[in-house]
Amino acid sequence: MEKKDIKIVKPPNLFRKTQQMICKIEDEIDGAFLTYWSTGSGSICHSDVPPLAEALNRLGKQEKIYLFIKSTGGNGQAALRLVNLLRQHGRQIVALIPLECASAATMISLGADEIHMGPLAYLTAVDTSLTHDLSPVDRNNYLISVSQDELNRVTNLWHEADKQLDHPKDQSNPYSKLYEHIHPLVFGAIDRASSLSLKLCEEILSYHIDDVDERERISKILNSDYPSHSYPITLREAKRIGLRVQEMDESLNEELSILNGFYAEMGQRALTDYDELNYHDHEIQTVIEGRDIQFTYQNNKDWHYRQEERRWVPLNDQSAWNRYELVGSKTKNSTFHVR
């Protein structure tokens, strides 16, 4: 069977249903409502900025904006740009966190005056990991990310082991061994990225915290105090850190869970196998939505497995942002060009 004869699996767009829930939520809160939602394969990135700007322009200046965030993270610099946009349009920002809000998504939440967390909600550490052109590769020949915390822990363990030796002359330099696996330039790039992460957190917090020492304290905790990048920071821990968090209203949490269910159905895996070496990906990865308007970033590309390189490569990539909006009683769909 040829590719043209195979029906491409496409996920549903539930714009009508999500709009009904968004209107219901916005009618019950004392401000405007927006969503930033992504799948596990989606990522906070710079291309998210234009659709959010378009959604905020539709809202205009607001006294208070509630932002529903659900994401596993992404680019910290993009997070700063998203926060900057939100603060230009809303005098007060409230982050609504019913589920995971990890890494760069945690950075976005730091830009809010208040963070409301549900029973399943968690933030995470924001220590930087980096995928460099000279990073080591995994068994599938993909570059892997390396974090400052991982490197620090390896060298600390090495030094601790050296302390147990009877003679100081037997102690060795860990870097000579580490450089056999991780290029020296990667060490430098990660150290620079770690400094960037601290700077980003402090800059984001400065939108609503005037105390420089307090901004620095919170940033250092989130960047270096946790044993894992994905360590779940629940409501209780967030309060201990000093973040402005509180329990989310039970009915609001339930409504956000329903809205998340619609997004999860839209963001389901949508893969079409052509053969053992080729498939098509049509997954919706990110949703940005407000009243009467929705933006979705959707994959639309083929993948081919190069056996000689032992890795998958994309082909015919037509992935793009799509805009759905209500015009009267009808839904209008168009491509939203970002480049």
Read off the pLDDT of residues 26-82 as tens digits, 9 standing for 90 and up. Answer: 999 999 999 999 998 888 889 999 999 999 999 889 999 999 999 998 888 899 999
Q: How is domain 10-125+226-273+284-298+319-336 classified at the CATH fold level?
A: 2-enoyl-CoA Hydratase; Chain A, domain 1 (3.90.226)
Tell me the C-alpha distance between 82 and 241, whole Å. 23
How confident is residue 227, by pLDDT bands cut at 50, 70 and 90?
confident
Tell me the C-alpha distance between 19 and 262, whole Å. 10
Q: Report the relative pairing of strands 62-70 and 271-275 from DSSP bridges.
A: unpaired
Q: How many CB atoms lie within 10 A of CB 100?
A: 21
Residue extent(s) of CATH 3.90.226 domains in the chain: 10-125+226-273+284-298+319-336
Residues 6 or more apart whose CB falls under 8 angstroms from that of 44 comprise: 38, 71, 73, 74, 75, 78, 79, 82, 104, 105, 108
More confident residue, 41 or 253: 253
Q: Is residue 151 pLDDT above 90, yes or no?
A: no
pLDDT in tens, 156-179: 676 677 666 655 555 566 766 777
Average pLDDT of the chain to the nearest whole number? 86
Q: Is residue 140 pLDDT above 80, yes or no?
A: no
Percent of the chain with pLDDT over 90: 57
Q: Is residue 147 pLDDT above 70, yes or no?
A: no
More confident residue, 4 or 308: 308
| Predicted pLDDT of residue 129 | 60
Matching residue, tokens 């915390």:
149
- Identify which of 18, 6, 27 has the alpha carbon closest to the alpha carbon of residue 261: 18
DSSP letter at 170 equals G
